[in-house]
Structure 1
Amino acid sequence: MTALGVVFRPQLPPERLRAVARAAEAAGLEELWLWEDCFLESGIASAAAVLAWTERLRVGIGLLPVPLRNVALTAMETATLDRMFPGRLALGVGHGVQSWMGQVGARAESPLTLLREYLDALRALLRGEEVTTEGRYVRLDAVALDWPPRTPPAVLAGVTGPRSLRLSGEAADGTILTADTPPDGVRRARRLADEGRAAAGRTGRHRVVVYLHTATGPDADARLAAELERGPVPPEEAFGVAGDAKAVAEAVRRLAEAGADTVVLQPTADEPDIEGLVRFAAEEVRPLVP
């Protein structure tokens, strides 16, 4: 079954998060996703709060920028959250926006090398292993978590390019795709990730999470058009949906048929009723999605 979520975008002030989390829990939404965008809100702090405010809701962080965070710190924070709230956290990491990384003096010359080293070390630490490594970027000397997760949580990679998608298949447990990814892009991403998994001799399902530009309500078409106009790709190449539950469910189904395991509705930056969108997703769209 395709999992359905909504992302709480950090363009909203942090004090709005509690009401949204509780609305998601009450409505029966499966997943609430969070971003760590510079310089808006912390992914870990936000996830900890949502997990504490709720009992059932799964929380995804999509994603933490690896140049900004020492891998041992990320492992410690992830393990702590997973031990307190077992099985409810999905963690995504990625290159980060390079201009933001430059602003804080953390830009890597080879983001791909950094991500590979980081994924290998992070997943090993979360498995409870002692890690010693002297990489180009990741250097650890006999580091092991005293309180590793009882069951290591999945670590996903938020990536876009061909080399990064293959790396995600090789070294991550899943892939997070941006909201500008159409169904054909999901198929391409899964194919590249599967190539990486085959090269690494890995088996089993590789989880694919994709965001979906979504707007509903009286001004949905105008808000979605404005959102796509501001995006990184030409609007005609972007994928999004504006309309009622039937229209949104159809877009979700198209992404699922292309290979998405989880579809996360991404509201426009000016969404006027985020709590209402959460309820709409859980109560009206979910029953229409297989």
Structure 2
Amino acid sequence: MITLGAVFRPQFPPERLRDVARAADESGLDQLWLWEDCFLESGIAAASAALAWTERLRVGIGLMPVPFRNAALTAMEIATIERLFPGRFLPGVGHGVQDWMQQVGARVESPVTLLREHLLAMRALLAGETVTTQGRYVNLDKVALDWPPVSKPAVFAGATGPRSIKLCGEAADGTILTASTSVEGVREARRLIDEGRATAGRTDKHEVVVYLLTATGPDAAERLNADPDAPGAGVAGDAGTVAEAVQRYAEAGADTVVLQPTADEPDPEGFVRFVAESVRPRI
């Protein structure tokens, strides 16, 4: 069965998160996803707060840019949140938007190599291993977490290009696809992910999460067309129309569809209730 989520966009001020997270939790939404986009809001801080304010909601970060981060620190943060809120945290990483990485002096020559090294080291640390590695970017010397997760969480990776998507299959536990991904793009991503999994000899579960730009209400079409995130993509309409679009992505291979409001969504609390109470029953 398809899992349904919604995005709390970092264009909304951080102080709005509490009410949105509680609305999502109370309405029965499966997942709420956050972004660590530059230079808006911290993913870890926001996710920790959202989890503390709610009882059952699963909270994801899609994604944290690894050029910003040390692999050991990222593993420590994920392990801490997982122990505080077992089974409710969905961490995701990626190589980041290169222009932003340039702005903060963190751009690297090979983002794909960095992401691979970061994923492999971080997932080993979260599995309770002692890690020594000398890579191009990630260097650890007998590092182990004193408080590893009781159960190792799935680590997602976000990607757009073919090499990065294939890497997700090889080195991550799940893949996050942006709202610019078409239905056919999900099918192609599944193919590339499976190639990467075969290369790594992996047979474990691999979840595909895709964002779907969504607008509802009387001005839905206008807001969708004006949103710069996914020009020409997304869905505008009532719950039935949105549910049909979700089903198409599910049939193409998505395990989770996360409805992404437009940047000018006037009612983020109402949006998550719409997803949970109106769209979800139609899936």
Q: Give SS of 1:221's match.
A: helix
In 1, are the aligned partners of 2:33 and 2:60 still within 8 Å (CA)?
Answer: yes
1:73-106: CA deviations, max 9, x gaps? 1000000000010000111100101011111110
1:65 equivalent in structure 2: 65
- Tell me the distance in 1 between the aligned counterparts of 2:108 and 2:149: 29
Residues 1:215 and 1:192: Cα distance change in structure 2 (over 3 Å): same
| Residues 1-290 of structure 1 mapped to structure 2, 5 A cutoff | 1-227=1-227, 230-231=228-229, 235=231, 238-289=232-283
The alignment covers a number of residue pairs equal to 283
- Tell me the distance in 2 between the aligned counterparts of 1:15 and 1:135: 40
Identical aligned residues as a percent: 74
- Tell me the distance in 1 between the aligned counterparts of 2:70 and 2:131: 14
TM-score, structure 2 length as denominator?
0.99
Q: Give SS of 2:39's match.
A: coil
In 1, are the aligned partners of 2:186 and 2:254 still within 8 Å (CA)?
Answer: yes
- Tell me the distance in 2 between the aligned counterparts of 1:58 and 1:4: 11
Letter in 2 for 1:55: E
Letter in 1 for 2:63: L
In 1, are the aligned partners of 2:155 and 2:172 still within 8 Å (CA)?
Answer: yes
- Tell me the distance in 2 between the aligned counterparts of 1:131 and 1:176: 26
Deviation of residue 206 (structure 1)?
A: 1.3
Letter in 2 for 1:206: H
Letter in 1 for 2:155: V
1:235-282: CA deviations, max 9, x gaps? 3xx421000000000010000000000000000000000111110000
Structure 1 residues without counterparts, runs of 5 or longer: none
- Tell me the distance in 2 between the aligned counterparts of 1:125 and 1:11: 33
Letter in 2 for 1:260: A
Structure 1 window deviating more from structure 2 (197-206 vs 123-132): it is 197-206
- Tell me the distance in 2 between the aligned counterparts of 1:48 and 1:60: 10
Root-mean-square deviation (Å): 0.8
In 1, are the aligned partners of 2:179 and 2:229 still within 8 Å (CA)?
Answer: no
Give runs of ≥4 in structure 1 deviating > 6 Å.
none
Letter in 2 for 1:21: A
